[in-house]
Amino acid sequence: MAATLPVAGTTAVDVLDQLGLPAGATLLVNGVGGGVGLAVARLAVGRELRVIGTGSTAKREHAEAVGARFIDYTAGDVVSAARELVPDGFDGIVDLAGGASLRTVAPLARDPRNLIAVGDMSVPDLGGRFVERRVDRENLERSARPALDGLLAPVITAVHPFSDAPAALATVENGHASGKVVVKVA
Ligand SMILES: NC(=O)c1ccc[n+]([C@@H]2O[C@H](COP(=O)([O-])OP(=O)(O)OC[C@H]3O[C@@H](n4cnc5c(N)ncnc54)[C@H](OP(=O)(O)O)[C@@H]3O)[C@@H](O)[C@H]2O)c1
């Protein structure tokens, strides 16, 4: 489990700290079903934010298990579904999907500065910000602490032996991974 924390956990802590939203605020996690998305959603729920996540059908169960409402982008128009749940726009958006999907959801932010992208560096073109990463001991401890306290439990969807590493990498490189995929070295 510890191996899944350094990247997804610290990234989730960084985006939520940079948004700095108060309890009760609304947060859209675009691409909630992957490694970073589920960590963001889980920690945000722990901070008492109202979390709505987008993903394809298979991600619903994982998103709802961490306490997020789910919008299936394969089932209809994401913007209409999001506006139905949060008519006045979101206090914050964390984007993990990038590209056309980021551009589709960007107008849902009440204030574009509260749109933070983790993978798509073109986000400033939309008025948003790219995540500022702090990969140091303090941040590692800040993502380990909620894990130890039971507030962050990485969703591990597959464990592959080292000999299957190419297949494991292929499942995360296709852009539609579920949670974290682990390669066991020994
Ligand atoms: N800046 C940094 O330090 C940093 C750190 C970590 C990650 N990253 C980057 O951040 C991105 C996300 O990382 P990750 O580890 O969470 O990736 P991931 O595990 O591959 O998750 C991405 C998720 O987005 C979903 N998705 C794809 N298209 C979507 C769409 N149109 N609408 C909604 N969801 C969609 C995918 O599955 P479904 O489409 O099946 O729902 C998948 O679950 C990657 O680009 C990664 O390289 C950057």
Q: What is the per-residue pLDDT across 51-68, written as a single tens digit (0 to 9) for each?
A: 999 999 999 999 999 999
Each residue's pLDDT tens digit, 118-132: 999 999 999 999 999
Pocket lining: 53 vs ligand 1, CB cutoff 6 Å: no
Confidence (pLDDT) at 135: 85
pLDDT: which is higher, 4 or 46? 46
Pocket lining: 104 vs ligand 1, CB cutoff 6 Å: no
Tell the residue nearest (CA) to atom 41 of ligand 1: 55
Quote the percentage of the chain above a pLDDT of 70. Answer: 100
Pocket lining: 18 vs ligand 1, CB cutoff 6 Å: no
User: Measured between alpha carbons, how far apart are the two ends of the chain, in Å?
Assistant: 14
Give 74: exposed, middle or buried? Use CB within 10 Å, 0-12, 13-18, 19+: exposed
Pocket lining: 45 vs ligand 1, CB cutoff 6 Å: no
The C-alpha atoms of residue 4 and residue 132 are separated, in whole angstroms, by 20
State the pLDDT confidence band at 171, using cuts at 50, 70 and 90: confident
Ligand 1: which atom is nearest the Cα of residue 99? Answer: 31
State the pLDDT confidence band at 174, using cuts at 50, 70 and 90: confident
- Find where tokens 């987008």 sit: 54
Ligand 1: which atom is nearest the Cα of residue 100? Answer: 31
Confidence (pLDDT) at 56: 98
Contact 53, 32 (CB under 8 A): yes
Contact 118, 7 (CB under 8 A): no
Pocket lining: 154 vs ligand 1, CB cutoff 6 Å: no
Cα–Cα nearest to 37, from 58, 71, 9, 61: 9
**Domain architecture of the chain: domains with CATH:** 2-130 (3.40.50.720)
Confidence (pLDDT) at 179: 87
Pocket lining: 9 vs ligand 1, CB cutoff 6 Å: no
Cα–Cα nearest to 1, from 43, 44, 41, 35: 35
Q: Residue 5 pLDDT more than 90?
A: no
The C-alpha atoms of residue 66 and residue 1 are separated, in whole angstroms, by 17
Q: Residue 116 pLDDT more than 90?
A: yes
> What average pLDDT does range 55-83 have in this prediction?
97
Best residue for ligand 1 mutational test, from 36, 94, 135, 139 (most atoms within 8 Å of Cβ): 36
